[in-house]
Amino acid sequence: MKYYDKLIFDLSKEGRRGYSLPETGLTNHKMKEEVPSTLLRGSAPSLPQVSEVDVVRHYTNLSQMNFGVDTGFYPLGSCTMKYNPKINEEIASMPGFQEIHPLQPESTIQGIYSIYSEMEKMLSAITGMKYFTLNPCAGAHGELTGLMIMRSYHRNRGDFARTKVIVPDSAHGTNPASAAVCGLDVVVVKSNAEGLVDVDDLKPLLGPDLAGIMMTNPNTLGLFERDIKEIASLVHKAGGLLYYDGANMNPLMGVVRPGDMGFDIMHLNLHKTFSTPHGGGGPGSGPVGVAEFLKDCLPYPHVEEGEESNLLYAKGETPECAGMVSGHMGNFGIILRACAYILSIGRQHIGEVGYMATLNANYVKESLRDVYKLPIPSVCKHEFVFDGLINDGAREGKEGATTLDVAKRLLDFGFHAPTIYFPLLFHQALMIEPTETESKETLDAFIEVMHTIAAEAAEDSDILHAAPHNAPIGRPDDTTAAKHPIINYRDLKAEA
Ligand SMILES: Cc1ncc(COP(=O)(O)O)c(C=O)c1O
């Protein structure tokens, strides 16, 4: 073990400090007088006692054990791990943005409110939705907000029977989960042999109990739902609303608008399509857009123009609205970065993003289909799904290499793994989304490695079963790691 692979607690030395602050003059006695006893600690916190250089090395080393889009190609399907341009960070770190507080008087944050307002207008122009709320803090949070809007709409009209939400079998797991959290009943519609929503399977599900349908377009197989106009008309005729999961908006941006396809409500993942950091790299943002007739159902607070003055203000709760979904108005720093991204690309060029993302995905797909199984061979949009290796090396007494093995082996070559075992339609799903920000050289290097791995599997799958060979950790028990994570020093010591 290298010295700095140690936990920071193991580097701790009694009395060592990385700072020296002036005395506060606040004695323990005085503190007890000033702070309510329920808020006072019983004992000092257990913190590592280390110097500044130890702290810097600790975090720098940790960051190097991680994988990020700034360190390598990250083709994680459905997640749109595009490059996060540094101009976004530069703008977000300007003091005028950093040193504000959400409880400041409204007259002092008019500039911030106008960014909200401008951003809503830009998202409306991109999506064809009339109004937006920027309050939700993730894609799944946007889904929940959108469904709350859907529910409010039906309830405001006195229609309490509409509790059913239709979700395709290819949907992301958050779709049915959000509907269930919203108290709605989930019904699944099947995909047809082409991987698209089966309209014949949909028809009998439509009725007076229908609240709406949730769809992703292109769907999670990277395929455009070309029957969307017919589906929209059937759902609307049955009195339901159409919800668009905008996680896959990247290939359509500036080209096709969900509002024009017939959707009534949608969310966007700013941390995907609009280049802000996500996952472990930062907070998310899931703005929700609605058609004009749903404006009153938007959650509060919402930036509006004052009637008597020209000041913008945050409109509060109304009886029709869907309620409040986040403290204040969402993750402003992320909204700002996404705003910088849109403005830096500009109206003339925003439509090129989707074309490049689509071209890159098809290039990788076509270059690898000779060694990986391609269950749906049509032209894809921004991503596509393989169903494992064509020759996985399985023979008498030897198990073949799985999708998990391929994913783990990729790490040895310095590439992040694609999304695996999702969507659930295929047993060995391997979902690849290169994004538009990768060069042909990077894609070629990835293609070459994927060919190397396929050749290794065919020859001797053991090398794949044992991968990764040079990552900081190999194969943790994923289920235990997710269900019982040990994330603090005390639990780790207790476990040891
Ligand atoms: C299709 C789809 N919908 C919804 C989500 C949920 O978004 P978030 O992770 O921001 O909650 C994702 C995330 O990967 C997704 O791919």
Task: Give per-residue pLDDT as tens, 356-370.
Answer: 999 999 999 999 999
* 283 and 328 belong to one structural domain: yes
Protein residue with its CA nearest to atom 10 in ligand 1: 139
- Does 277 have pLDDT greater than 80? yes
pLDDT more than 70, % of the chain: 99
Q: Which atom of ligand 1 is nearest to the CA of 171?
A: 1
Q: What pLDDT is recorded for position 282?
A: 65
User: Residue 267 Cα, ligand 1 centroid: separation in angstroms?
Assistant: 10
Domain boundary among 345, 366, 401: 345
Residue 279 in any domain: the answer is yes
- Rounded average pLDDT over 378-391: 97
Q: Which of 283, 310, 345 is the last residue of a domain?
A: 345
Is residue 489 in some structural domain? no
Distance CA 307, CA 373 (A): 61
Backbone angles phi, psi at 370, to 5 degrees: -80, -15
Distance CA 40, CA 13 (A): 26
Please give the average per-residue pLDDT across 201-220, as a whole number: 97
Q: At what angle do helices 332-345 and 110-127 cross, to 10 degrees?
A: 60
Nearest-CA residue for atom 12 of ligand 1: 247
| Ligand 1 centroid, distance to 79 Cα (angstroms) | 7
Question: What residue's CA is closest to ligand 1, atom 8?
Answer: 139
In this structure, are 50 and 137 located in the same domain? Answer: no
CA of 109 to the centre of ligand 1 (A): 31
Q: How confident is the model at residue 175 (pLDDT cuts 50, 70, 90)?
A: very high
139 shares a domain with 262: yes
Ligand 1: which atom is nearest the Cα of residue 272?
10
Nearest atom, ligand 1, residue 141 CA: 11
**Least confident window among 112-126, 190-204, 392-406, 466-480:** 466-480
Q: How far is the CA of 237 from the centre of ligand 1 (A)?
A: 29
30 band by pLDDT with thresholds 50, 70 and 90: confident
User: Residue with structure tokens 């190397």?
Assistant: 452
Ligand 1 mutation pick, 252, 269, 272, max ligand atoms within 8 A of CB: 269
> Token pair for residue 352?
């090129």
Per-residue pLDDT averaged across 12-35, rounded?
84
Q: Quick one: 385 exposed, middle or buried, by C-beta within 10 A (0-12, 13-18, 19+)?
A: buried
Same domain, 473 and 366: yes
In angstroms, the CA 341 to CA 484 distance is 38
The answer on 212 and 111 residing in a single domain is yes
Return the pLDDT at 215: 98
391 belongs to a structural domain? yes
Question: Is 283 found in the same domain as 168?
Answer: yes
- With cut-offs at 50, 70 and 90, classify the pLDDT of residue 135: very high
Protein residues with CB under 6 Å of any ligand 1 atom: 78-79, 138-140, 172, 174, 216, 220, 245, 247-248, 269, 284, 286
Q: Is residue 75 part of a domain?
A: no
- pLDDT for 64: 87
CATH code for the domain of 315:
3.40.640.10
Distance CA 263, CA 228 (A): 9
From ligand 1's centre to the CA of 132, what distance in Å? 19
Residue nearest to atom 14 of ligand 1 (CA): 79
Residue 478 has a pLDDT of 84
| Ligand 1 atom nearest 286 alpha carbon | 10
Question: For 187-194, what is the mean pLDDT?
Answer: 96
Dist. CA 20 → ligand 1 center (Å): 44
Residue 19 pLDDT greater than 90, yes or no = no
Q: How far is the CA of 266 from the centre of ligand 1 (A)?
A: 13
Task: Indicate whether 287 pLDDT > 80.
Answer: yes
pLDDT greater than 90 at residue 27: no
Q: What's the number of domains the chain is made of?
A: 3
Residue 281 has pLDDT above 60, yes or no: no
pLDDT score at 44: 84
Contact by Cβ (8 Å): 422, 386: no
Determine the pLDDT at residue 460.
Answer: 93
- Asked whether residue 280 carries a pLDDT value surpassing 80, the answer given is no
**Average pLDDT for residues 61-68, to the nearest whole number?**
88
Judge if 222 and 111 occupy the same domain: yes
Give CA separation, 98 vs 140, 227, 288, 390, 421, in Å: 27, 46, 25, 52, 40
223 and 249 both lie in a single domain: yes
Question: Letter for the amino acid at 364?
Answer: V
Both tokens of 59, joined, read 């975090």
Most confident of 11-25, 89-103, 439-453: 439-453
174 CA from centroid of ligand 1 (Å): 7
Range of the domain at 412: 351-483
pLDDT of 279 reads: 66
How wide is the angle at C-alpha 495 spanned by C-alphas 491 and 496, nearest 5°?
Answer: 120
Residue 407 lies inside a defined structural domain of this protein: yes
In a domain, 70, yes or no: no
Do 359 and 476 sit in the same domain of this protein?
yes
> Which residue among 345, 365, 397 closes a domain?
345
Mean pLDDT within 384-398 = 95
Q: What is the pLDDT of residue 66?
A: 85
Nearest to 326 by CA among 180, 70, 148, 104: 148
Q: Which of 137, 174, 273, 382 to mutate to test the pocket of ligand 1 (most atoms within 8 A of CB)?
A: 174
- 295 and 269 in one domain? yes
- Tell me how far the alpha carbon of residue 419 lies from the centroid of ligand 1, in angstroms: 12
Same domain, 139 and 183: yes
Cα–chain-centroid distance for residue 309?
38
pLDDT mean over 322-334: 93
Ligand 1 nearest-atom number relative to CA 284:
10
Residue 81 is assigned to a structural domain of this protein: no
Residue 411 and residue 425 share a domain: yes
Report yes or no on 441 lying in a domain: yes
- Residue 271 CA: which ligand 1 atom is closest? 10
